[in-house]
Amino acid sequence: MNAVDLLKPRPGLRVLVSGAAAGIGAAIAHAFLDAHAQVYICDVDAAAVEQAKSRRPALHGSVADVSKREQVDRVVEDAANRLGGLDVLVNNAGIAGPTGSIEDLDPEQWERTVSTNLDSQFYFLHRAVPVLKQTSDCACVIALSSVAGRLGYAFRTPYASTKWAIVGLVKSLAVELGPSDIRVNAILPGVVEGERMDRVIAARADALRISFEAMREEYLTKISLRRMVTVDDISAMALFLASPAGRNVTGQAISVDGNVEYL
Any idea which residues carry the catalytic annotation? 159
- For residues 181 and 248, the answer to whether their CB atoms sit within 8 Å is no
- For residues 174 and 142, the answer to whether their CB atoms sit within 8 Å is no
Residue 184 burial (C-beta neighbours within 10 Å; 0-12, 13-18, 19+)? buried
Instruction: List C-alpha distances in Å: 56 to 25, 34, 123, 175.
Output: 14, 10, 27, 36
Q: How far apart are CA 47 and CA 162, in angstroms?
A: 27
